[in-house]
Amino acid sequence: MINISPYKESIYKINTHSGSGTAFYLEDWNLIVTAASAVEDFATVELLNFINKKVYCKVVYTDALQNIALLMLSEYMQLQPCRWRKTHN
């Protein structure tokens, strides 16, 4: 089993009126990536960090076929970028 503890600050939760999903931040593009099914037809969604600090994000792109969505922060929050590294073989 993979230990994700080192990455918990890089994993975010998306909340909408109809459900929730997970997301991660791509620093080079200043975008948050999540599943299109998590944001459905919403223009704005909540983003929570690992200590449940909440900020709103604008949905800027969705692709239902690929089930991917891109979000941008509507207000400032310091985000921890996703920096995955191989820790096992």
**pLDDT reported for residue 59:** 97
What is the number of alpha carbons within 13 Å of residue 47 lying toward its C-beta?
Answer: 29
Spatial distance between the Cα atoms of 20 and 10, rounded to a whole number of angstroms: 17
Q: How far is CA 50 from the centre of its chain?
A: 11
For residue 9, pLDDT beyond 90? no
44-82: pLDDT as tens digits? 999 998 889 999 999 999 999 999 999 999 877 788 776
Mean confidence (pLDDT) of the chain: 87
Q: How many helices (H) and strands (E) does the chain have?
A: 1, 6
Q: Give the pLDDT mean for 11-17.
A: 93
